[in-house]
Amino acid sequence: MITGALSKIPGLVENLDAGASVLELASGAGHGLAKLAAQYPEVALTGLDGDAYSITLAKGTVADAGHSDRVSFVQSTLEEFTETEKYDLIFINISWHEARDIDLATKNVRNALKPGGYFVISDFPFPAEKEGLRTIPARVMSGIQYFEAKIDDQLVSTETFVLMLEDYGFEEVDLFIISPVHNVIYGQK
């Protein structure tokens, strides 16, 4: 999903085509990294995940796709990750609500971005108001998110994601809807 969505963000594709430094947070088994490496052959990619097994899987996925020379990996949680002005793009796909300390994780992302760098959140937001729970897609997602709340994941609305980025000094904050239960929120440092 994320590779197609990136083209909807003004100015981002030009940066990727020029050879941006990119970090995927919660990179899992590496499928997003492999797709991004194939689509943008000039980018240097890093996958970050807190789970050693996921990194092992990701290394295999990236190697099978023939992109090991451009992808590196970091084992870290979102809260422990510390870099300074290293990346042109940091993105996370369907996992930002899983941050245990979403404020610290947002601060860490902002610190790791170069000036003008992009932060892109692709996630399943929780409805901002109870009326939003009345649609069938929202009911399904509410059941899933209720389970996630039981394991300490966040129930975050799109509006909250936007305010969070603005509160941390991101500029040009905007969003677009992929489906009734899947949105992309982004901003620049």
Looking at residue 69, which CATH number applies to its domain? Answer: 3.40.50.150
26 and 98 Cβ atoms separated by less than 8 Å: yes
Name the band, by pLDDT with cuts 50, 70 and 90, for residue 9.
very high
User: What is the arithmetic mean of pLDDT over 29-36?
Assistant: 94
Task: Show the tokens assigned to 107.
Answer: 């601060």
- 138: pLDDT strictly greater than 90: no
Name the band, by pLDDT with cuts 50, 70 and 90, for residue 32.
very high
Higher local confidence (pLDDT), 118 or 93:
118
DSSP type of residue 66: T
- The number of angstroms, rounded, from the C-alpha of 183 to the middle of its chain's C-alpha atoms is 11
Name the band, by pLDDT with cuts 50, 70 and 90, for residue 158.
confident
Name the band, by pLDDT with cuts 50, 70 and 90, for residue 141.
low
Q: State the average pLDDT for the chain.
A: 87
Counts for the chain of helices (H) and strands (E), in that order: 7, 7
- Check residue 179 and give its pLDDT: 76
- 149: pLDDT strictly greater than 80: no
- Check residue 98 and give its pLDDT: 74
Q: pLDDT digits over 62-113, tens only?
A: 999 999 999 999 999 999 999 999 999 999 988 777 778 889 999 999 999 9
DSSP type of residue 98: G
Give the number of other CB atoms < 10 A from CB of residue 111. 15
Domain count, the chain: 1
Name the band, by pLDDT with cuts 50, 70 and 90, for residue 140.
low
Q: List Cβ<8 Å contacts ≥24 apart for 125-130.
A: 125/156, 125/157, 125/158, 125/160, 125/161, 125/181, 125/183, 126/97, 126/155, 126/156, 126/157, 127/157, 128/157, 128/158, 128/159, 128/160
- Check residue 2 and give its pLDDT: 65
Q: pLDDT digits over 160-175, tens only?
A: 889 999 999 999 999 9
Domain membership of residue 88 as a residue range: 2-188
Cα separation, 110 vs 87, in Å, equals: 10
